[in-house]
Each structure stands twice: as C-alpha cells, then as structure tokens.
Amino acid sequence: MTHPFCASIIEHLETISGRVLVCLDPIGDDRLWKDFSPNLTSPGNLILHLNGNLSQYILKTLGEKNFSRERAKEFSAKPGTDRKTLGKTFRATVDECIAVIRSLDEAQLARTYRVQGFVHTGYGILVHAVEHLSHHTGQFAWFTKYLFAADIDFYRGRDLDVD
C-alpha cells in the first residue's frame, strides 16, 4: 500500500505536471526553443530543467537510478525536440517518479539524503520536488498566457465558488 504522504505527493505531481502539459500545448514548435529575454528561458529549456530536477531528486536520490545531471545545459541546450516529443518525455519522467514514490516506505522517507549539496529527509525531497515543479509551473502559466495569449484555464467547467 502506498504511504499516505506519498499518495498526496503523487496527486500533486499528477495535477501540476498536467498543468505543464496544458501550457506546452499552445506553443508552436517554432517558438519552443526561443529565449524571450535574457532572464526568461525558453519553454523547451524549462521542460529540460523540470526533467533534470525531478530526475536528480526523485529518480536518482530516492529511486537510486543511474542519472548524471548537467544543470547548466538544461538552460542552454537547444536540442530542437518538437513539442509533442518533449511533452511525452516529461510525462515519462513524471510517471517514473510516481513509480518510485509509490515504492517508498517510512524508513526511506525518514532517512536523510544528500542531494545538490543539501541534506534532506525523503519527506523533504518530495516536498522540494513538488514545490519546485509548482513554482516553475506558475512561471510557465504566466508566460504562456502573456507571450502566447493562450487560454489555459486549469479549472474550466468547475465551479470554484462552492465550499
């Protein structure tokens, strides 16, 4: 049975990663790798960064998977991958992370790990991963609305004025 904390983390990962894919959808392949300003990385590079962070924190650290991260390249590489393929790669990373999270037990969650120069418990790593993904999803949503005039209503069809 999945640990209750892990079940909650999985629920958030599913929701947030789905929002990333909603934001990715209206961006044309011709603009996917374009840096829109010196301090605003391209949508494609943001996906590479999210994949790198999830892979380092969850897959490598908690899942003990072989992974070597080159963080600087997440922001500078322009592989030219099309939007559909990039979205599938991101989804596959999230799915692999969810499989690792489902397998965690109390001892693994309570244990301390060193990752990216920091020391976290397994709980802390999962909080970091969800927080990091959520932070960048908010950025992604903002620039998708602003730069691409996209209607990305995450709650379309839901009445949010109910208790």
Across 40-122, where does the E strand assignment appear?
A: 112-115, 118-121
The count of C-alpha atoms lying within 13 angstroms of the C-alpha of 113, restricted to the half-sphere facing its C-beta, is 23
Buried b (16+ CB within 10 A) or exposed e, 2-15: ebebbeebbebbee
Percent share of the chain, pLDDT over 70: 100
Q: What pLDDT is recorded for position 38?
A: 86
User: Domain limits of the chain?
Assistant: 4-148
CATH second-level architecture of 4-148?
Up-down Bundle (1.20)
Distance (Å, whole) CA 52 – CA 74: 7
Q: How are beta strands 118-121 and 112-115 bridged, if at all?
A: antiparallel
Q: What pLDDT is recorded for position 37?
A: 87
Across the chain, where does the E strand assignment appear?
A: 112-115, 118-121
Tokens standing for 34? Answer: 């374009």
* Tens digits of residue pLDDT in 97-144: 999 999 999 999 999 999 999 999 999 999 999 999 999 999 999 989
Does the predicted model carry a pTM greater than 0.75?
Answer: yes
* Tens digits of residue pLDDT in 42-68: 999 999 999 999 999 999 999 999 999
